[in-house]
Copies of this chain bind each other. A is one copy, B any other.
């Protein structure tokens, strides 16, 4: 890995955008593999999944030379490489903190298990929820036991799905428990120490990206 592109807009930002794209490529390769495709070119991959062929080649070249001239990529081989790069060649252990509507829905989200993520526990502070399970069978533990459970269950990633007012203090508990990566569904900005990776899934941001498109489309439909 040369790292030559990393400085452009800040290494961390490049990494995150790249990781997002690699993850999308992996989804596409899974679909192709399920259809029985053995090889795929960057051009075919781009056309079938509305991606950018030059970007695909650039992203993959950054991590090594996976393509074969005249053939493209071997689907299964590239899948294996991408799973390795993304760190999902082993089971990644996830806890969901907040057993409200969203937390319970996320605990049972079928895509996670399919891709090798193990949802090992839910946490909440409401006593009447503790000991119960999600419909899919994920057990709800007391958030006071987070630290103990993170060690015992080797939890890699915490998904934060608590009300906005509780988000910062619960994030601090997660960090104190030794978790190094947080996927945050609570609205608003959280502060975590630099060694902890925080990914915000502010759902409003996603809806605004669509409304941005609609607003521009309506005023600029001819472009």
Binding site for B on A (CB under 8 A): 9-10, 13, 15-17, 19-20, 22-24, 26-28, 31, 49, 52, 55, 85-88, 92, 94, 100-102, 104-106, 108-112, 114-115, 117, 135, 156-157, 159, 163-164, 180-183, 187-189, 197, 199-217
Contacts and interface: CB of A to CB of B under 8 A. Distances in A.
Q: Which of A9, A86, A92, A202 gathers the greatest number of chain B CB atoms within 10 Å? A: A86
6 contacts: A23-B208, A111-B164, A112-B203, A114-B187, A183-B210, A201-B203
A207 B117 contact: yes
Contact of A26 (B102, B156, B201, B208): B208
B205 A85 contact: no
Contacts of A16: 209, 213
B112 A207 contact: yes
B187 A206 contact: no
A20 B199 CA distance: 13
Contacts of A203: 106, 109, 111-112, 201
B27 A211 contact: no
Contacts of A110: 163-164, 187
A212 B19 contact: yes
Nearest to A31: B189
Q: Which of A20, A108, A210 gathers the greatest number of chain B CB atoms within 10 Å? A: A210
A188 B31 contact: yes
Contacts of A52: 9-10, 13
Nearest to A212: B19
Contacts of A181: 210-211, 213-214
A98 B180 CA distance: 33
B212 A85 contact: yes
Given A86-B212, A106-B203, A157-B210, 7 more contacts: A27-B204, A102-B109, A109-B203, A112-B203, A112-B207, A115-B208, A156-B211
Contact of A187 (B13, B27, B197, B200): B27
A202 B199 CA distance: 14
Contacts of A24: 200, 202, 205
